[in-house]
């Protein structure tokens, strides 16, 4: 089936109580690994590319790699999503490139660093929703800004700023009403990257209760957890055993993600764990076999390590086994859906 809009996938996940990982990619091996895992355990897929990923891989390469993924996996529902669009133009260019879903991250200004105002966020997100829905493309928005509560890392916030930029449930409710987004990313104390928490997170730094409250207020909105790599100890250990220098760190425990899924979380963004899995495998090959220099000798094991990781995520989030149930939904179907609902 052609690439599917994210809204259709998340609606199915909500109706069947599971979550889907939003998996960042930059190259062919990552796309192959995700597709191999999904094919093996019959999972719907959300592949996502950041602005940096689009620049690194080039839109044309990325588009054709995704078309290959679709061609080779005709029975799997696959969505291609713009991660952290910093402007309406970024989202529109993604739509032109065939992405079936975009994130307009208006929680930050266009520089992607400084927290913006609520009014700016609404204005830019509405603009994207209007044009995206007119062609059936889904939109994720964000209220609050990511940043670890312990020391503010993430969007470069101070600890106090990170606390002040957690998602406010009143504002989340208002934002969904004001913009008509399909999915809402919330700031609950997670941050991007490996260094999220200095100990296994407790409720004071990872505010799952905030997710519960937002879900109570917005039971029909699909919630998104960013910065949700679990940073598994074993992946840190492999890297460090083969010459790496990852300082001891903690991510978002799987059981907290599962608690989120019980409370409206339908998309769980993961990039760091994929990076760790691939880097550990590459370090191992190069350390154990210093004579090797064929990229296939290390990119192959990196791809295998990522396939294992992704398959485990799909099982942990309850995604596995649901691809076959998915009734195909096209951009045209979603366009008609938004028109019926008066959303465009
Ligand atoms: O949003 C964060 C993702 O991990 C993407 O990271 O901007 O380095 O590609 P990136
Ligand atoms: P991690 O850094 O925890 O993998 O988060 C990725 C993310 O949120 C991408 O948008
Ligand atoms: Zn993110």
User: What residues line ligand 2, using a CB cutoff of 6 Å?
Assistant: 24, 83-84, 192-193, 226-229, 269-272
Strand partners, 79: 46
Give percent of the chain with pLDDT exceeding 90. Answer: 94
Residue nearest atom 3 in ligand 2 by C-alpha distance: 227
pLDDT tens for residues 18-69?
999 999 999 999 999 999 999 999 999 999 999 999 999 999 999 999 999 9
Strand pairing report for 45-49 and 183-186? unpaired
Active-site residue set:
83
* SS3 category, 244: coil
In whole angstroms, what is the distance from residue 249 CA to residue 186 CA? 22
Query: What dihedral angle (degrees, nearest 10) is formed by the CA atoms of 284, 290, 292, 295?
Result: 50
Total-model pTM = 0.98
Ligand 2 center to residue 282 CA distance, Å? 21
The preferred substitution site among 52, 225, 229, 277 for testing ligand 1, maximizing ligand atoms within 8 Å of CB, is 52
DSSP string, 95-153: HHTT-SEEEE-TTB-TTSSSB--HHHHHHHHHHHHHHHHHTT-EEEEEES--B-TTT-T
Over the stretch 12-30, which tens digit does the pLDDT of each residue have?
Answer: 999 999 999 999 999 999 9
pLDDT of residue 154: 76
Residue 44 CA to ligand 2 center (angstroms) comes to 19
Mean pLDDT of 99-128: 97
Q: How far is the CA of 192 from the centre of ligand 3 (A)?
A: 6
Taking only the tens place, the pLDDT of each residue in 238-254 is 999 999 999 999 999 99
């Amino acid at each position: 089936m052609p690439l599917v809009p994210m809204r259709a996938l998340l609606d199915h996940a909500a109706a069947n109580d599971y979550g889907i990982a939003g998996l960042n990619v930059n190259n062919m091996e990552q796309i192959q690994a995700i597709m191999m895992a999904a094919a093996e355990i019959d999972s719907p897929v959300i592949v996502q590319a950041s602005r940096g990923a689009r620049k690194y891989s080039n839109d044309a390469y990325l588009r054709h790699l995704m078309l290959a993924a679709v061609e080779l996996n005709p029975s799997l529902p696959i969505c291609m999503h713009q991660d952290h669009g910093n402007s309406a133009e970024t989202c529109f260019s993604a739509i032109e490139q065939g992405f079936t879903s975009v994130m307009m991250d208006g929680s930050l200004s266009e520089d992607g660093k400084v927290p913006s105002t609520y009014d700016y966020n609404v204005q830019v997100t509405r603009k994207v929703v209007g044009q995206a829905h007119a062609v059936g493309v889904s939109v994720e928005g964000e209220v609050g800004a990511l940043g670890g509560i312990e020391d503010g890392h993430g969007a470069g916030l101070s600890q106090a700023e990170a606390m002040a930029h957690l998602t406010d449930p009143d504002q989340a409710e208002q934002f969904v009403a004001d913009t008509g987004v399909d999915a809402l990313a919330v700031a609950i104390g997670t941050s991007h990257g490996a260094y999220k928490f200095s100990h296994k997170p407790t409720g004071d730094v990872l505010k799952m209760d905030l997710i519960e409250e937002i879900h109570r207020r917005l039971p029909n909105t699909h919630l998104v957890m960013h910065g949700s790599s679990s940073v598994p100890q074993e992946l840190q250990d492999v890297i460090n055993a083969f010459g790496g220098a990852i300082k001891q760190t903690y991510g978002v425990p799987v059981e907290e993600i599962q608690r989120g899924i019980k409370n409206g979380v339908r998309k769980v963004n993961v990039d760091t764990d994929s990076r760790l899995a691939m880097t550990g495998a590459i370090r191992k090959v190069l350390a154990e076999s210093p004579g090797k220099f064929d990229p296939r000798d290390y990119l192959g094991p990196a791809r295998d390590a990522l396939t294992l990781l992704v398959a485990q995520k799909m099982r942990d989030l309850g995604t596995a086994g649901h691809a076959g149930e998915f009734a195909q939904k096209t951009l045209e179907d979603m366009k008609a859906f938004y028109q019926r609902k008066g959303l465009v």
